[in-house]
Amino acid sequence: MHWGYGAGWVSMLCGGAAVLLLVGGLIVVALLLLTRSASGGGPSGRSGESTSETPLEILKARYARGKISKEEYEEMRERLRT
Name the pTM for this structure.
Answer: 0.40
- How much is the pLDDT for 78? 93
In our burial notation (b when 16+ CB lie closer than 10 A, e otherwise), range 1-37 reads: eeeeeeeeeeeeeeeeeeeeeeeeeeeeeeeeeeeee
> Residues 23-69: pLDDT tens digits?
999 999 999 998 887 766 555 545 555 568 899 999 999 999 999 99
Looking at residue 41, its pLDDT comes to 54
Q: Decide: 45 and 39 in contact? Cβ < 8 Å.
A: yes
> Which of helix, strand or coil describes residue 53?
coil
Q: Does residue 18 register a pLDDT over 60?
A: yes
Question: Rounded CA gap, 14 and 8, in Å?
Answer: 10
